[in-house]
Amino acid sequence: MNELLQCTALELGAAIRKGEVSIPEVTSLALEAAGANPNNAFITLTPEAAMARAEELQKHLADGSASSPLYGVPMAVKDNICVQDVPATCASKILGGFRPPYDATAWEQMLAGGAVSIGKTNMDEFAMGSTTETSFYGAVQNPWDTDRVPGGSSGGSAAATAARTCWYALGSDTGGSIRQPASYCGVTGVKPTYGTVSRYGLIAYASSLDQIGPLARDAADCAAILDLLQKKDPRDGTSLEMPGAGTLLQSLTGDVRGLKIGIPAECFGDGLDPQVRKAVLEVAEVLKRRGAVVQELSFPVMKYVVPTYYIIACAEASSNLSRFDGVKYGWRAEEYEGLTDLYQKTRTQGFGTEVKRRILLGTFVLSSGYYDAYYRKALQVKSLIRDAFRSAFDSCDLLLTPVAPTTAPRLGESLSDPLQMYLSDIYTVSVNLAGLPGLSMPCGQDDKGLPIGAQLIGPHFGEATLLNAAFGYQQDTDWHKKAPKGGARA
């Protein structure tokens, strides 16, 4: 593998600015690596657009106008984020043929920073899934073991970043969809504080939980990407001003002296693979050696987080996905008689099993007579979960937990038992329910050589603390530098 493909996005950006490599050169390198669509990580590759963009950026580089440390670095975009005129499928049949006439704000921010997209990455259909097996365009393989899943729903973004087909990728995280695939694929990923990255142009799964974020080689790359992404957007009513936006990268020191790290006992109990437990707790030891203070704490609401998440997410999804009805855009059933039949056939044939399951669940919990027992109750528990985090952050600065109970399962294993798959989201979903920032970083490997991820959770707007702890950890360890053997497999 070309050495350039191994370096971080920031290293490549520096080399570009120094003139050691050209943007078209590294773009064609990435396109070549992605050309045969290794691991089925991409749904759409856009080589012509990428090369044209690379040439243009290179031309402006000569004028001395590199607009960010990531200027000219090739990357990929999850296929639920709108890029003007490029198909946005959400990995669903029902969006076949849809090309958004607008850019997502997050993508505009990246464009302003000089990003070059090589294509749109594969995902679970409408981001519903934890394995990237529910895609209409086929499952994505984990580059560490192609018989295994890459995690989901941003599995294509994680696999492409891990397999070194691009330097970083944008994902979206509704219940762990950036952090869990980052963990399974051995890359670093961040789910930002809710509201700090615009959702305009992100095709919604669950509006109150969705957030766009980076998947990259390490914490510093993630900081540089977040510096571009986090900006208040007048087109998103839930958008918030991030205090100190744009200064994450420069704030990284690795100094964690006196930092109080909480370990919630409930996150290390039954159901957690002992190898994962050991690797994650070892993170605490590393940070302790750098001067952090580690303390155990109790987080009693853990047992309610998965049902609460699935009720809220499915409720919102059932409404968000109603617009896909075959009337205005995307795919429409070929034969139908009358309006109701058009709706029924289009949606029955256009959505996959998991999406339909969640639409039905969501429709049920919002139905008259069930709303109070399910949806309203879930909202009440959601506020208890927020309170639990608030009191946890009264006594500590960050929480350390696993990302997932196990390393990557085999392809096909999870689809047969959706409930088991839902339960595996236990460590990630509470972060979305509380709107907090969460980071996933590689912290070891199991006996099969599969990556293990650790999760750091911060208070609202705690990205700087989160990234600095991860940055410090990555100074002393090299799990984040490990690449799957042979990298990409076609």
Partner 1 sequence: MTWETVIGLETHVELATKTKIFCGCTTAFGGAPNTHCCPVCTGMPGTLPVLNRKVLEFAVKAGLALNCEITRYTKFDRKNYFYPDLPKAYQISQLYLPICRNGAVDIGGGKTIRIHELHMEEDAGKLVHDPWIDQTRADYNRCGVPLIEIVTEPDFRTAEEVIAYLEKLKETLQYLGVSDCKMQEGSLRCDVNLSIRPMGSDTMGTRTEMKNLNSFKAVSRAIDYEARRQAERIEEGKRVIQETRRWDENKDASFAMRSKENAQDYRYFPEPDIPPIELSEEWLQDLKDSLPELAEDKRARYQSEYGLPLYDCQMITSDKALADFFEALVDLGTAPKQASNWIMGEVLAALSARSLEAKDMPLSPKTLAKLIAMVQAGRLNRNTAVKVFEAIFDENGDPEAYAAAHGLEQVRDTALVESVVDAVLAENPKSVEDYRSGKQKAFGFLVGQVMRELKGQGDPKTVNEILRSRLS
The span of 255-263, 298-306, 366-374, 428-436 binding partner 1 (CB under 8 A) equals 366-374
Other CB atoms within a 10 A radius of the CB of residue 238 amount to 13
The span of 26-34, 53-61, 203-211, 252-260 binding partner 1 (CB under 8 A) equals 203-211
Binding of partner 1 by 268 (CB under 8 A): no
For the record, the structure tokens of 62 come out as 């000569």
For the record, the structure tokens of 107 come out as 């993508």
For the record, the structure tokens of 187 come out as 């890359």
Q: Which of residues 70-99 bind partner 1 (CB under 8 A)?
A: 80-82, 88, 90, 95, 98
Of 111, 162, 166, 203, the residue at the interface with partner 1 (CB under 8 A) is: 203
Q: Using H for helix, E for strand and C for coil, what is the string for 242-279? A: CCCCCCHHHHCCCCCCCCEEEEEHHHHCCCCCHHHHHH
Of 29, 149, 202, 314, the residue at the interface with partner 1 (CB under 8 A) is: 202
Binding of partner 1 by 383 (CB under 8 A): no
Binding of partner 1 by 375 (CB under 8 A): yes
Binding of partner 1 by 323 (CB under 8 A): yes
Give the phi and the psi of residue 324 in degrees, each rounded to 5. Answer: -85, 85
Residues 6+ apart with CB under 8 A from 297: 262, 263, 264, 265, 392, 395, 396
Q: How many CA atoms lie within 13 A of 411 on its CB side?
A: 18
**CA-based nearest residue to 102, from 191, 203, 192:** 203
Binding of partner 1 by 416 (CB under 8 A): no
- 153 carries an active-site annotation: yes
Binding of partner 1 by 336 (CB under 8 A): no
How remote is the C-alpha of 274 from its chain's centroid? 25
Binding of partner 1 by 101 (CB under 8 A): yes
Binding of partner 1 by 367 (CB under 8 A): yes
Of 30, 163, 204, 431, the residue at the interface with partner 1 (CB under 8 A) is: 204
For partner 1, the closer of residues 93 and 199 by Cβ is 199
For partner 1, the closer of residues 338 and 486 by Cβ is 338
How remote is the C-alpha of 38 from its chain's centroid? 19
For partner 1 (CB under 8 A), the number of binding residues is 45
Q: Which of 28, 130, 135, 153 is catalytic?
A: 153
The span of 6-14, 206-214, 255-263, 415-423 binding partner 1 (CB under 8 A) equals 206-214
Site string for partner 1, 224-263 (x = CB under 8 A): ----------xxxxx-------------------------
Q: Identify whether the C-beta of residue 289 lies closer than 8 Å to the C-beta of residue 469.
A: no
Looking up tokens 């510096």, which residue turns up? Answer: 227
**Which of left, alpha, beta for 258 (phi over 0: left; psi -120 to 50: alpha)?**
left
Binding of partner 1 by 318 (CB under 8 A): yes
Binding of partner 1 by 100 (CB under 8 A): yes
Binding of partner 1 by 125 (CB under 8 A): no
For partner 1, the closer of residues 95 and 149 by Cβ is 95
For partner 1, the closer of residues 379 and 415 by Cβ is 379
Of 250, 253, 298, 322, the residue at the interface with partner 1 (CB under 8 A) is: 322
Instruction: Characterize the bridge pairing of strands 168-173 and 211-216.
Output: antiparallel
CA–CA gap between residue 309 and residue 306 (Å, rounded): 5
For partner 1, the closer of residues 363 and 477 by Cβ is 363
Binding of partner 1 by 368 (CB under 8 A): yes
CA–CA gap between residue 197 and residue 228 (Å, rounded): 9
CA–CA gap between residue 224 and residue 246 (Å, rounded): 8
Residues 6+ apart with CB under 8 A from 291: 255, 256, 257, 258, 259
CA dihedral sign of residues 357, 362, 368, 372: positive
- 78 carries an active-site annotation: yes
Active site positions, annotated: 78, 153, 177
In the complex, the residues that contact partner 1 under the rule CB under 8 A are: 80-82, 88, 90, 95, 98, 100-102, 104, 199-204, 206-208, 234-238, 315-316, 318-319, 322-325, 327-329, 339, 343, 363, 366-368, 371, 375, 379
